[in-house]
Chain A
Amino acid sequence: MDIAEKVLRQKKDFDDVYEAGKKAEYDAFWDGYLATPKKTGIGYCLFAGVGWNENTKIPYKIDFITNGYNMFIYSGNIPKTELAKIDFSKITTFFPVFNYSNIQHIPELDTRGVSSLGTVFAYVTSLISIDNIILRDDGSQTSLNLFNNNINLEEVRFAGIIGQNGFDIHWSTKLSADSLKSIINTLSTTTTGLTITLPKTAQANYEAVYGLSSWSTLTATRSNWTIAYA
């Protein structure tokens, strides 16, 4: 090996040690930061504040949170791909989770562990899409006022059943036709005495895609619900 090769080998060795040192520091930060939430399950303010943003890189799956209260309050726009590393299915307490954050796109949320959902997305005026909100199949979940002031929400899908009062998404005037279809199709077919609140733009948004009278046809499948337009 000549001198040049030796120097290059030494540089590579140095770079490898440097990168390993950086990774060790990086892992130490995350292991330390998540040590208490891992033990307690409390995700309170875990990603609160603008310091958590488009540059955030979550290093591994976070699947130990059981209390998501204020978990993303005032956060920056954390990418959907990073949010997808968080397993929400073990959470039993929601209430405001994403309130006041600047997040734009949220991946699938499994909410089946939560009995009373609360104002999960309150005042996330930046929010544009939620891939899928998985509700319980028995329609038992209450406090369905998840969408307070989500004025830019366009796409949302649901699985499971909406079977209680209180679902109000009237702030979201930009909801797509398929989002509206998902909401209506998620309404329980077996309950009575319940009311849902939709934006005044619902019919126009839906019929712009599916044609005249299509909204009446769709909503007729849930004649057991009163639909309020606000």
Chain B
Amino acid sequence: MTDERIITASEGHMLTNGEIYASSVRLGDWDSADNWHEVTKEEYEAKMAEMAEVEDAIY
């Protein structure tokens, strides 16, 4: 991707805006790189496991 409004997580990390997790992001006109920060893959996986537990309870 060559769009300058693209931010990419560094190796071993994911980006998050607090709600959404992504390996890269194409920022919308309204968005800013300041809204996104990196978390480690371990933190990301722990969060996904937590969310999966919630889903299991629902389904």
Contact = CB atoms under 8 A, between A and B. Distances in A.
Interface of A: 96, 99-100, 119, 122-123, 148, 168, 192-195, 197, 200, 203, 213, 215-216, 219-220, 223-230
Q: Size class of B's contact patch?
A: 20 to 34
A6 B21 CA distance: 78
Contact of B24 (A195, A216, A229): A229
Contacts of A100: 59
Given A192-B30, A228-B20, A99 B59 contact: yes
Contacts of B23: 200, 229-230
B28 A223 contact: yes
A229 B3 CA distance: 14
Contacts of B24: 200, 228-229
Nearest to A192: B30
Interface string B12-42: 0011010011111111111100000000000
B21 A226 contact: no
A44 to B, nearest CB: 14
B1 A192 contact: no
6 contacts: A99-B59, A195-B17, A197-B22, A227-B25, A228-B22, A229-B23
Contact of A227 (B26, B30, B55, B58): B26
A123 B22 contact: no
Contacts of A99: 59
B21 A230 contact: yes
A209 B59 CA distance: 37
Contacts of B27: 226
Contacts of A225: 28
Given A96-B59, A197-B20, A203-B1, A224 B25 contact: no
B20 A148 contact: no
B29 A192 contact: yes
Nearest to A197: B20
Nearest to A165: B19
Nearest to B24: A229
Contacts of A220: 3
For the complex of A and B, 7 pairs with smallest distance between CB atoms: A228-B22, A226-B28, A227-B26, A226-B31, A192-B30, A230-B22, A229-B24
Contacts of B55: 119, 122, 148
A52 B4 CA distance: 51
Contacts of B15: 228
Contacts of B59: 96, 99-100, 119, 122-123
A220 B3 CA distance: 9
A216 B25 contact: no
